[in-house]
Structure 1
C-alpha cells in the first residue's frame, strides 16, 4: 500500500460504524487567532498593497509639486491680565480681570471680525493680487451682457469680500500656562504674512485703547450728571436738618440735653432707692410700736431699745434698782439712804418713760417723713421720664435727618473722588497688551509639507490596500484550504489535488496522470484518496463509490478516472460514466464515440461484455454512458438500474461512478442512495462553500453517505508560502525530481475536469 502524505488530512475508519473520522478537528480553525488570518491575507497580497501605496505616493508627489507654497509668520502678543493699575477706577470700569476667562476673552477678541476688518482696511489688502475680490467678480454671463452688473466697490465692500479668505488664513493660538498668544498668518508672500500678523496685533491693541478711552469718557460724563443731582439732594437734606433743629430748639441734643436728662433720672433713681430703704426701716419700727399691746413696756421693743438715749436711761434704771436692792438688805425702808435710793429709782424710771415716749414719737414722725419723701421722689422720677420720652421722639426724627445728610454727603464725596480719578485715568491710558516678538519673514514654506504629504499618502495607500485585501478575503466565500472544508462544510477532507500546469490541463493527459506520472504529487494525492476510501469500510467486501460535484469544471471526471485506475492496481475495479447528458469519461480515455455502455446495459439492448471497455495500461474496466436516452433520470430511477448495480457488484470489488453535478440535475441524488458512499469534489478558490454545503445536504437528504470532500486544483506552493501548513509536499522524496514538472506552474490557469 502506498504511503499516505503526512501533510494531507484524511479520514480513518471507525471499525464499529464505518464512518470517517476527522484527523483535524473543525473547531481548530475557529480557535485560531483572527490576527493570524489577517496577517496571512496581508502577506498574500503584499506586492499589490505595496504597489498601490507607491502609486498613491507618486500621485501625491505630483500634486504637491504643482501646489503653490504658503508661508507663515507669527507674532507673539503678551496679554497683561495681571497688569499693575494706576488707579482703582479700572476695577470698576475697565472690565480687566485676573483670571483665565479674561485671557480667553481677549484671545477671542483677537479673532473677532472687527479686528480683521480694521486690519484689512488698514493694509488695503485688496491691492494685493492674492486677496483682490475684483478679479473673480466678472463672470462669463456678465462679460457677454447677461447677469447682474458688477458692484461699485468701496473699502467696506472690499473688506467684507476679503474677510472670509482672511479669517481662514489667520490663526490665533494661546500659549498654554502663560499669558502669551501667537498670531499667525498664511500667505504666498512671506513679507505680506509678516506684515499682516503684526498689523492684527497692533489693531487689537489700538482697539482696546480706543474702547477704554471711550468707556472712560462715558463714565466721566455720567459722573458729572450724577454729581449735579447729588449736590442738590445734599443741600436739601442739610436745610431740612437745620430747620428741624431751630423748630425744636435743639442746640446739641445728644451731647447736652439728652445727657442732662439722663443724669437727672439717674440721681432721682438713686435718691428714691435710699428713700425707699429709709421708709422700709421706719415702717418696720412703726409696725413694732403699732402692734405692741396697750400699757406694755415699750422700752423692750428693738426699735426703741436701739436709741442710745433710751439705752442710757435703761442702764440708769438698772443701776438705781441694784442700788436700792443693796440698801434694802442693810437698812430698813425708813432709813434715809433707802428713801434716797427709792427716789433715784423713781427718777430714773420717769426719765426712761419720757425717753421711750420721745423715741416712739420720733419713730412715727420718721416713718411719715420717709413715706412722704418716697412719694415726692416717685413724682419727680415720673416727670423726668416723660421729659426724656419727648426728647427721644425728637432725637429719632433728628437721626433721620442726620442719616439722610450723612448718606448724601458720602455719596457726594465718593462721586467727587471717582470723577477726579476718571479724569486722571483718561489721561493715563496704558495698553492691555504688547507685542513681545514681532513677526519676521519666513524663509521656509509651511504648506505644503511635501515629505509629510507623500509619506501620509504612502501610509494611506498601504492602509487602503490592507483594508481591500482583508475585505476581499472577507467577501471571498470560496474554499481556500483543507481547514475551510472542515469548518465550513463540516465534512472530512479526503485528499487535496494540486494545481496542474497549462501543458497538463488537457483532458487526455490529466485522465492518465496516475499511469503516466506515478511519482507525481497528483498521483500521491490519488493514493491518499484511495487509502481513505479503503479505510472507510475495511469490512466491506465490495464498494460502490459515487463521485460528484456542485457545478461542471471542478475536476470530478479527472478525479474519478484516476481514482478508479488507482483502485485497479489492487482490486478488480469498474468505472461507470453515469453522466449520460454530457459524458466526459470516454473523451478523457479516448474511447471512440458510439460505444455501448450504461444506458444500453440497463435497457437490455446489449450484454455486459459489449458494454465494458478495458483501459489501456491498466486492469481497469470502463462502462461508457452509452446511447443518450430521452430521459436519463427515469432510467436511473428504474428498478433495472438498481438490479444492474447489484449485478455489477458481483463481478467487481470496487465500482466508481462519475455522475453529473448536483446543482444541474438530480441524477447524483438518485445514485447516491444506491452506493456505499459519495465523494464530493470542489475546486479550490472557485466553488462557493454555500453551494457545496447545499449540494452535500441534498445528498444526505436523499439517503446518501458522504465519505469525504476532495479539494481540487489546490495551489500548494501558494498555500505553503502564505499559510505555512503544506510544506510536506516538497519532502519525503517524491517532491524532488518532479518539482519542475508541476511546481513551476502552480500559479497558472488550471484545466477543467
Structure 2
C-alpha cells in the first residue's frame, strides 16, 4: 500500500479537524509570543490609567398639576403629566446648559480633574500638566463633563439615578449631589417667574370676562323686552301640542275626503241606476236598508204562497201585492235619501279639509316663529351662563392663588438618597482587560494563522492532496529539525519520522510500480529551497543500505550538497569530470559506512546547461550504470532553468519535490507541464516539509525507541 492509500483511510472529519489545528500547533510559539506581547502592552497601558470612582444620587421627580397654560382646564384641573413631559425633565438634566450651570457653581474649570489627563504620573511625559499654565473655559469642559454624567430613570417608578464618574471620589460625590441641588433651584426659579405672569394673566382674563358677561346679560334682557317673552318654553310647548293635534286631524279629514270622493264619483257615474247604486258599500251595509230588504223578502214569500192558493183577484192576494209594492217604493226612497246624504257628506268633508289646513298653516307659522325666538333666547341665555361660569372659575382660582402665594408646578422634586463618597473604584478593571486582551489576541492570531493556511494554494492538507490529480503523490515527508550526528566523516540526520518516510518512498519505488524499478532517478523541484538536495541525499543513503548507489549533484548553478556533507566548496566534482580536469577517483567521494558514492557538482561553470548537454555527460551516465545498482541525480528547479529538462531525457524516473507549505499549485502544474512536453518519465510527487499531513502519531514513538535495537557491524564497501 502506497502513501496515497494511507491518506484515503482517514475519515473526512479527522482530516478537517487536523487541517485546522495543525497550523496552530506548528506555530504555537509565534501565537504564544504575539499573545503575550499584546497582553503585556495592554497590562502596561492599564497600569498607567488613573482609577475612576462613581457616585450616585437618587432624585424623585413626581407628577403634579400642569403649570401655566392658555387652557383653563389644563391650567387648573388635576392631571398626570405625560410621558413626554417626564422625558423632557431627564433630557433637561443631560442638557448642555444645565451642565454649564453645574460647572460654574462648582468652579470645575480650576479643578485638577479637567486639567490633567487620564494617565498617572508613572511616566513623566504622561503626567498631569501644571494647572496654572492653561485653564480651559466652560465650553471646553462641557463635553468631558457630559460624557461622565449618566441620568438613568428607574423603570416603573418616579425615581432617577444621577451618577458621575471621576478620578476623585470626593468630586464624584459633589457633582452628583450638585446636579440634584441645581435642578431643585431651577424648578424654584421657574415657579417664581411663573407666579407674577400667571397672576397678571388671571386679572386680565377676569376683566375681559366681566365685560363679556355684562354685555351678554344686557343683550338677553333687551331681547326679552323687545319680543315680549315671559315663558317662551311654555308657549312653545302649547303651540307644539296644537300643531300635533291639527296635523292628526288634517290627515284624518284628508283620508275621509279621499274615500268619499271615490263614492261620489261612483254615484255620479250611475245616476238613476237603482241596481248599481244599491251595490255601494255605504248603502248595502246600512242598517235601515237591511231591515227593509228583509221585510221585502218576507212579503215576497207571503205573496208567493198566497198566489198559489188564491186567484189574482182574491182580496188577500191583492192586499199582499199592494203591501209588496209599497215596500219597494219605500226602499227606493230610502236609497235615494242615502245617495243624497253621501253627496252632502262628500262636500262637507272637502270643506272640513280646507278649514283644517288653514288652521294647520297658522299653527305652523306660529310654531316656527316661536322656535326662532326660543333659539335666539337660548343662545343668549347660554352665553350668559358660560360667561358666568368662566368668570366664577377665574375668580375662584385667583383667590386661591392669592391665598396660597404660589402655584403648584408640573413636578415636585426631592432627594431620596444623596451621593456618598465611593470607597471602591469602578475602572479600570485591570484583570478583565488583561484576560480579554489575552483571549482576543490569541483568538485573533489563531484565526489569522488558520485563514492563512486554508487560503494558501499549496498541498498543505489531506483534502488538497486528495484533490490533486496532476500527478500521483508518492510520499509526504514531515517537517523536522536539522539535527545530525557524525558517523565517520559524514553527517547523518537522526529524525526517525523523516527517515522512515524516506524508506517508505524507497519501498514504493521498488515494489509498487508494475514496471521495472527505475535505476537512474532524477530529483527536481519547481523552485529553489524545497528540500530536494536533502531528499536526494537521504534517498541515496536509504538505497545504499542494500545496494551500491551513486549520488550525482547536477545542480552546478547553486550547489548545496557540500554544506550537508561538510565538504570544501571548491572540491572537484561533476563539472571537473566533464571538463576533463580531474579523474573519476578524484571527483567521487566514497562513504565508508554505507555503499554510497557521491559526485558533487564541482566548480560552478559559466554555462552549466552546455556541460549537461555534452555527449560526455550521457556517456558518463551509461558508464556509471554498469558499475552501480542505483543512480540518483539531483537537478536544478524546473521553473528556474532548463537543466532538469535535459537530464530528464537520460533517466528512468523523475521525482518531483514540492514544499508542502510554500509551493503553489500553479508552480507545480507549470513544472509538470514543462517535463511532460519532453515526455519526461515523471514517477510522482514528493511533498516535503508537511505540517498538516503527517504519518500516524505512533510512528514517532515507535521508531524513536532504540532500546531494543542491536547494532550490527556494517560491511565495508567493496
Deviation, structure 1 residue 173: 1.4
Matches of 1:53 and 1:187 in 2, distance apart?
32
| 3-state DSSP of counterpart to 1:679 | strand
What are the Cα deviations for residues 94-149 of structure 1, in whole angstroms up to 9, with x where unaligned? Answer: 9965765554444333323344344445555556554589xxxxxxxxxxxxxxxx
Deviation, structure 1 residue 600: 5.0
| Inter-CA distance 422–463: structure 2 relative to 1 (3 Å threshold) | farther
Deviation, structure 1 residue 389: 3.4
Matches of 1:540 and 1:357 in 2, distance apart?
157
Aligned with residue 94 of structure 2, among 111, 115, 120: 111
| Inter-CA distance 276–711: structure 2 relative to 1 (3 Å threshold) | closer
**Residue in 2 aligned with 1:3?**
none
| 3-state DSSP of counterpart to 1:547 | strand
Residue 176 (structure 1) aligned with residue 155 (structure 2)? yes
Deviation, structure 1 residue 606: 9.2
Q: Is the 8 A contact 2:61 2:412 kept in 1?
A: yes
Residue 447 (structure 1) aligned with residue 427 (structure 2)? yes
Residue 404 (structure 1) aligned with residue 379 (structure 2)? yes
Aligned with residue 236 of structure 2, among 251, 254, 278: 254
Q: Is the 8 A contact 2:232 2:370 kept in 1?
A: no
Q: Is the 8 A contact 2:213 2:387 kept in 1?
A: yes
**Residue in 2 aligned with 1:728?**
699
Deviation, structure 1 residue 380: 2.0
Deviation, structure 1 residue 539: 4.4
Matches of 2:581 and 2:366 in 1, distance apart?
154
Q: Is the 8 A contact 1:205 1:434 kept in 2?
A: yes
**Residue in 1 aligned with 2:213?**
231
Residue 193 (structure 1) aligned with residue 169 (structure 2)? no
Deviation, structure 1 residue 546: 0.8
Matches of 2:666 and 2:78 in 1, distance apart?
75
Matches of 2:264 and 2:460 in 1, distance apart?
136
**Residue in 2 aligned with 1:436?**
416
Residue 245 (structure 1) aligned with residue 227 (structure 2)? yes
Q: Is the 8 A contact 1:577 1:658 kept in 2?
A: yes
| 3-state DSSP of counterpart to 2:699 | helix
Matches of 1:598 and 1:41 in 2, distance apart?
42
| 3-state DSSP of counterpart to 2:379 | helix
Matches of 1:90 and 1:507 in 2, distance apart?
114
Q: Is the 8 A contact 1:663 1:695 kept in 2?
A: yes
Residue 560 (structure 1) aligned with residue 536 (structure 2)? yes
| 3-state DSSP of counterpart to 1:443 | coil
Q: Is the 8 A contact 2:206 2:395 kept in 1?
A: no
Q: Is the 8 A contact 2:299 2:324 kept in 1?
A: no
Matches of 2:583 and 2:41 in 1, distance apart?
75
**Residue in 2 aligned with 1:509?**
490
Q: Gapped runs of 5+ residues in structure 1?
A: 1-10, 13-20, 134-149, 294-300, 739-753
| 3-state DSSP of counterpart to 2:411 | coil
Aligned with residue 636 of structure 2, among 660, 670, 681: 660
| 3-state DSSP of counterpart to 1:22 | helix
RMSD (Å) for aligned C-alpha atoms: 5.9
**Residue in 2 aligned with 1:6?**
none
Matches within 5 A, 1:201-220: 201-204=180-183, 207=186, 220=202
**Residue in 1 aligned with 2:124?**
none
Matches of 1:521 and 1:259 in 2, distance apart?
125
Q: Gapped runs of 5+ residues in structure 2?
A: 117-132, 276-281, 710-718
Deviation, structure 1 residue 292: 4.2
Matches of 1:230 and 1:595 in 2, distance apart?
132
| Inter-CA distance 350–396: structure 2 relative to 1 (3 Å threshold) | same
Aligned with residue 387 of structure 1, among 323, 342, 362: 362
Matches of 1:77 and 1:612 in 2, distance apart?
98
What are the Cα deviations for residues 272-307 of structure 1, in whole angstroms up to 9, with x where unaligned? Answer: 8789989999999999995449xxxxxxx9799965
| 3-state DSSP of counterpart to 2:651 | coil
**Residue in 1 aligned with 2:390?**
415
Q: Which moved more, 1:656-665 or 1:247-256?
A: 247-256
Residue 76 (structure 1) aligned with residue 76 (structure 2)? no
| 3-state DSSP of counterpart to 2:636 | coil
Deviation, structure 1 residue 521: 6.7
TM-score by length of 1: 0.67
Deviation, structure 1 residue 161: 4.9
What are the Cα deviations for residues 504-549 of structure 1, in whole angstroms up to 9, with x where unaligned? Answer: 6x99623xx39xx9x9776655544432332254642761111234
| Inter-CA distance 649–261: structure 2 relative to 1 (3 Å threshold) | closer
What are the Cα deviations for residues 238-267 of structure 1, in whole angstroms up to 9, with x where unaligned? Answer: 367436624999896413444445556656
**Residue in 2 aligned with 1:703?**
679
Greater relative contact order structure (CA < 8 Å, 6+ sep): 1
Q: Is the 8 A contact 2:53 2:169 kept in 1?
A: yes
Matches within 5 A, 1:478-627: 491-493=473-475, 498-501=480-483, 509-510=490-491, 513=492, 524=500, 526-537=502-513, 539-540=515-516, 543-550=519-526, 556-557=532-533, 559-581=535-557, 588=565, 600=577, 616=592, 618-621=594-597
What are the Cα deviations for residues 662-706 of structure 1, in whole angstroms up to 9, with x where unaligned? Answer: 354321121113312123445676767765665455434443234
Q: Is the 8 A contact 1:545 1:678 kept in 2?
A: yes
Matches of 1:428 and 1:235 in 2, distance apart?
35
Q: Is the 8 A contact 1:53 1:461 kept in 2?
A: yes
TM-score by length of 2: 0.70
**Residue in 2 aligned with 1:676?**
652
Q: Which moved more, 1:417-426 or 1:440-449?
A: 417-426
Matches within 5 A, 1:61-460: 61-80=43-62, 103-121=86-104, 123=106, 125-126=108-109, 128-130=111-113, 160-204=139-183, 207=186, 220=202, 223-224=205-206, 227=209, 230-231=212-213, 234-235=216-217, 238=220, 241-242=223-224, 245-246=227-228, 253-260=235-242, 262-263=244-245, 291-292=273-274, 366=341, 370-371=345-346, 373-409=348-384, 411-413=386-388, 415-416=390-391, 419=394, 423=398, 424=400, 427-429=407-409, 431-460=411-440
Matches of 2:671 and 2:603 in 1, distance apart?
28
Matches of 2:99 and 2:246 in 1, distance apart?
82
What are the Cα deviations for residues 348-371 of structure 1, in whole angstroms up to 9, with x where unaligned? Answer: 999989988996896587557545
